[in-house]
């Protein structure tokens, strides 16, 4: 393992990611109870008020969808919300080591599943492209391992602004990502790998692929439900009759269709369900079962235990989810038990395991030592701070989780081509067990 981690000889880039704001999105549970500063009437609010006046209260899922991804005014569409100047920070934006270890995970799985002649690396919601940049640096440094493999990169991104930043980060030429440009948009990465952009996973070619989703599932729209003496009632969003241009939560007077997503034996009295996450997991599972590869999903979340997790972030502060929609991020914890159910047994699932354990199993301590040995005093301090942010159980170490979908053959030692031919002992899946380099 340490041979591999030392082979990743990239220079420390601590300075570029030096400032760590104190708030990350996984930090709090609560919604709509924080004091809001002012309540400006944003274009999204105007649009939603018009909509509610015309057709009645909307679901929380519809609200999230409009606020985050409305093509004309959505928060994600024209914002760069990541990093110190933005609204929240993510692990790849904190430390280069995070992406490097994920790069090693993909290579390790590619090797464990028989070193296919080609694979697509598909990222859902790639943000600024920082994570993919760190992964591709590892691919270049381990070029001798991957030299006969035909790799292509596929980014699924709804935001025009972030797509442009990804193109700047990952390619040398200017790629046109205008909303009306024909999709997929194609380019070439700095290391010469073909790269394409899509708006939807469905448009990504089906082929042997590894999928990555880091802090992606938490922004997908959730429906919220409350248990009442009359049964489940959906939480809706309506106009506050007391205050003009203000929204409020109300309960639906009768059953609504999304109730079908609640488990019959559900014991909580408040649940959030995310049908879009289910659709994506089903698509990933079908693809992986058919063509091999795997998916690595990392996010904050729970295993079917939490209740009210919807919250907003603006400028590294918690933000009332109903105030100034379109100016703040909205997010809800990922229910990994739901993701596991939605895989419907087509593929094997692993995790969720805590980020701290996953990164430890991937050899973060060895990698940190390599970087510390190469750094001056100031960079060393930054590297240690970054490590603490990723690993400390009170920071991101225990709030973030890793979850994987892999073909059944990968875990049960059967050959991909001949299900009857047993392999002696499949290597453990890195991260979920210790990284073993064969
Ligand atoms: N993975 C990055 C960014 C996380 S923010 C990181 O960890 O730093 C969420 C990302 O998902 C953004 O890139 C956002 O534009 C994208 N996104 C949000 N909703 C999406 C959707 N419905 N389809 C595709 N991308 C989406």
Q: Is 342 in the pocket of ligand 1 (CB under 6 A)?
A: no
d(CA 330, CA 134): 27
Q: What is the pLDDT of residues 273-320, one digit of tens each?
A: 999 999 999 999 999 999 999 999 999 999 999 999 999 988 888 899
Pairing mode of beta strands 223-228, 270-273 = antiparallel
Q: What is the pLDDT of residues 158-174, one digit of tens each?
A: 998 899 999 999 997 76
Per-residue model confidence (pLDDT) at position 427: 84
Dihedrals φ, ψ of 188, to 5°? -135, 135
Q: Is 126 in the pocket of ligand 1 (CB under 6 A)?
A: yes
Whether residue 421 has pLDDT greater than 50? no
Dump the DSSP string for 135-170: HHHHHHHTHHHHTT-EEEEEEE---HHHHHHHHHHH
Q: Which pTM does this prediction carry? A: 0.91
Q: Is 134 in the pocket of ligand 1 (CB under 6 A)?
A: no
418, 412, 402: which is closest to 213 by C-alpha? 402
Out of 88, 158, 162, 164, give the residue to mutate to test ligand 1, the one with the largest number of ligand atoms within 8 Å of its CB. Answer: 158
Q: What is the pLDDT of residues 5-46, one digit of tens each?
A: 555 655 555 445 655 555 555 554 334 444 445 578 999 999
> Which atom of ligand 1 lies closest to the CA of 213?
1
Dihedrals φ, ψ of 93, to 5°? -75, -15
Q: What is the pLDDT of residues 349-386, one digit of tens each?
A: 999 999 999 999 999 999 999 999 999 999 999 999 99
The angle that helices 96-112 and 377-391 make with each other, rounded to 10 degrees, is 60
Q: Is 133 in the pocket of ligand 1 (CB under 6 A)?
A: no
423, 409, 356: which is closest to 387 by C-alpha? 356
Per-residue model confidence (pLDDT) at position 102: 98
Q: Is 69 in the pocket of ligand 1 (CB under 6 A)?
A: yes
Q: Is 42 in the pocket of ligand 1 (CB under 6 A)?
A: no
Contact 208, 293 (CB under 8 A): yes
Q: Is 169 in the pocket of ligand 1 (CB under 6 A)?
A: no
For residue 349, what are its two tokens?
């699932």
Whole-number Å distance, alpha carbon 6 to ligand 1 midpoint, is 31
Whole-number Å distance, alpha carbon 142 to ligand 1 midpoint, is 28
Out of 127, 133, 330, give the residue to mutate to test ligand 1, the one with the largest number of ligand atoms within 8 Å of its CB. Answer: 127
Q: Is 125 in the pocket of ligand 1 (CB under 6 A)?
A: yes
Per the prediction, the chain carries an average pLDDT of 88
Contact 145, 108 (CB under 8 A): no
Residue with CA closest to ligand 1 atom 3: 127
Q: Is 79 in the pocket of ligand 1 (CB under 6 A)?
A: no
CA 152 to chain CA centroid, Å, is 20
Out of 219, 300, 399, 400, give the residue to mutate to test ligand 1, the one with the largest number of ligand atoms within 8 Å of its CB. Answer: 219
Mean pLDDT of all residues in 183-191: 87
Dump the DSSP string for 390-435: HH-IIIIIHHEEEEEEE-HHHHHTB-SS-TT-B-S-PPPPBTTB--
The helix or strand, by DSSP H or E, that contains position 278, with its residue range, turns out to be helix 275-291
d(CA 355, CA 359): 6
Out of 216, 297, 399, give the residue to mutate to test ligand 1, the one with the largest number of ligand atoms within 8 Å of its CB. Answer: 216
Q: What are the helix (H) ranges across 292-376?
A: 336-342, 355-361, 364-374
Per-residue model confidence (pLDDT) at position 416: 46
Kindly give, in sequence order, each residue whose CB lies less than 8 Å from that of residue 229, ignoring residues fewer than 6 positions away: none
Task: Please give the share of the chain, as a percent, with pLDDT higher than 90.
Answer: 74
Whether residue 123 has pLDDT greater than 80? yes
d(CA 224, CA 256): 11
Range in 120-124, 138-142, 364-368, 431-435 with the lowest mean pLDDT? 431-435
Mean pLDDT of all residues in 413-435: 68
Whole-number Å distance, alpha carbon 288 to ligand 1 midpoint, is 22
- Report the 10 Å Cβ neighbour count for 217: 28
Whole-number Å distance, alpha carbon 231 to ligand 1 midpoint, is 34
| Cis upstream peptide for 429 (omega within 30°) | no
Mean pLDDT of all residues in 247-273: 95
Per-residue model confidence (pLDDT) at position 78: 79
Q: Is 216 in the pocket of ligand 1 (CB under 6 A)?
A: yes
d(CA 295, CA 152): 16
Q: What angle do CA 434, 435, 438 make, to 5 degrees?
A: 130
For residue 119, what are its two tokens?
């694979």
26, 21, 20, 404: which is closest to 215 by C-alpha? 26
């Amino acid at each position: 393992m340490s041979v591999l981690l030392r082979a990743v000889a990239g220079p420390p880039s601590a300075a570029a990611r030096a400032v760590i704001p104190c708030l990350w999105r996984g930090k709090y549970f609560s919604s709509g109870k924080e004091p809001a500063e002012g309540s400006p009437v944003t274009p999204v609010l105007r649009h939603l008020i018009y909509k509610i006046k015309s057709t009645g209260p909307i679901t929380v899922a519809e609200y999230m969808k409009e606020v985050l991804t409305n093509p004309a005014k959505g928060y994600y569409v024209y914002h760069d919300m990541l990093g110190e100047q933005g609204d929240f920070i993510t692990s790849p934006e904190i430390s280069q080591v995070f992406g490097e270890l994920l790069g090693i995970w993909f290579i390790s799985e590619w090797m464990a599943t028989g070193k296919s002649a080609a694979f697509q690396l598909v990222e859902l919601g790639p943000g600024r492209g920082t994570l993919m940049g760190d992964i591709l640096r590892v691919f270049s440094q381990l070029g001798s391992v991957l030299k006969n493999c035909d790799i292509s990169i596929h980014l699924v991104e709804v935001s025009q602004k972030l797509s442009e930043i990804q193109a700047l980060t990952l390619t040398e030429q200017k790629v046109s990502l205008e909303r009306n440009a024909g999709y997929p948009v194609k380019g070439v990465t700095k290391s010469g790998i073909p790269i394409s952009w899509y708006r939807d996973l469905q448009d990504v070619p089906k082929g042997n692929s590894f999928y990555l989703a880091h802090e992606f599932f938490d922004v997908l729209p959730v429906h919220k439900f409350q248990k009442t003496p009359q049964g489940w009632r959906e939480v809706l969003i309506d106009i506050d009759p007391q205050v003009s241009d203000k929204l409020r939560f109300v309960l639906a007077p009768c059953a609504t269709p999304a109730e079908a997503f609640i488990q019959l034996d559900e014991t909580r009295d408040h649940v959030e369900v995310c049908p879009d996450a289910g659709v994506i997991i089903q698509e990933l599972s079908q693809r992986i079962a058919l063509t091999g590869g795997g998916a690595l999903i990392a996010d904050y979340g729970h295993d079917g235990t939490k209740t009210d997790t919807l919250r907003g972030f603006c400028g590294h502060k918690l933000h009332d989810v109903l105030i100034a929609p379109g100016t703040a991020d909205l997010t809800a914890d990922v229910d990994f038990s739901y993701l596991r159910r939605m895989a419907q047994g087509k593929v094997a699932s692993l995790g969720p395991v805590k980020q701290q354990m996953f990164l430890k199993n991937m050899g973060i301590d060895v990698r940190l030592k390599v970087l510390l040995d190469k750094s001056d005093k100031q960079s060393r301090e930054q590297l240690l701070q970054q490590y603490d942010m990723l690993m400390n159980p009170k920071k991101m170490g225990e709030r973030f989780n890793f979850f994987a979908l892999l073909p059944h053959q990968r875990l049960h030692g059967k050959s991909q081509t001949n299900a009857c031919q047993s392999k002696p002992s499949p290597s453990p899946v890195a991260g979920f067990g210790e990284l073993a380099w064969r």
